Amino acid sequence: MTTMTKWQTIQLNEEHSSENVYMIELNRPEAMNSLNTLMGIELVECLKFLHTKEDLRVLVLTGSGEKSFCVGADLKERKGMTNIQWKQQHDIFEDAYQLLREFPFPVIAAVNGFALGGGMEMLLSCDLRYVADHVKMGLPEVKLGIIPGVGGTQLLPRAIPIGLAKEFLFRGNHIDAQKAVESGIVNGKFAKEELLPNTMDIAKEIAKNAPLSLKAIKKSINTGLQTDINTALTIELDQYYKCANSEDRLEGILAFNEKRKPDWQGK
């Protein structure tokens, strides 16, 4: 396994880079992978760094250990913060989550344990979500006198029916992996020992597809959902012709007819 040690709270696994898949691991297991200021800063740095990796096609995000994916902000660090300090920290978190949502290629969450508060908002910021069968998740902010602040009230109602999302947010309760699958919050669940292998298999399958197409699909969906249907279809058509007029489209058709795997260039 090839791992960069540039960061203290983030590990970047490049083991599968030859298959165009990279994995970020949140690395504060002693604190349930809670998000402190340093992790926020390092997550921003890591995501910006990954923008420079020309071979990246799919990004997988997980937590270290088997107990916790991320339990949100580190409340021990937040104890005694002034309003200004709180805002300064939250600005960093906002930047990190925006980079995650707007990452050009598919991002898959492999949720290996508790995903609470900002941890659940982190998985909601990913494109696909797979969970271990012992996972529990929740947005308990209402019990702490705040509300989700990095996407929870907006991303959850876009993932599941509004009534279910409101109940989830108003109650601030936890749900288990099976309920998360049934409600549509996540794509599937696996036994904990099978979570990463199965998630990586899915990531590698996706990574074999045309990179321009992957980027175009993500941009079409994420941008189009915020508009009316006619505008959305115009967005889709614009992305369609970016792919249709590419060298990769020529290669894809040629490879199909020659009965071989395409050699994508991302051009």
Catalytic residue among 121, 182, 247, 258: 121
User: Looking at the chain, how many residues does it have?
Assistant: 267
Per the annotation, the verdict on 251 as an active-site residue is no
Q: In whole angstroms, give the CA distance from residue 115 to residue 226.
A: 26
Per the annotation, the verdict on 121 as an active-site residue is yes
The residue among 181, 151, 148, 183 whose CA lies nearest residue 164 is: 183
Starting at the edge strand found earlier in the chain, the sheet holding 3-4 runs 3-4, 10-13, 21-26, 58-63, 107-111, 128-132, 188-190
Q: With contact defined as beta carbons under 8 Å apart, do 139 and 122 qualify? A: no
Q: In whole angstroms, give the CA distance from residue 16 to residue 151.
A: 30
Q: How many CA atoms lie within 13 A of 153 on its CB side?
A: 7
Catalytic residue among 42, 45, 54, 141: 141
What is the set of active-site residues?
121, 141
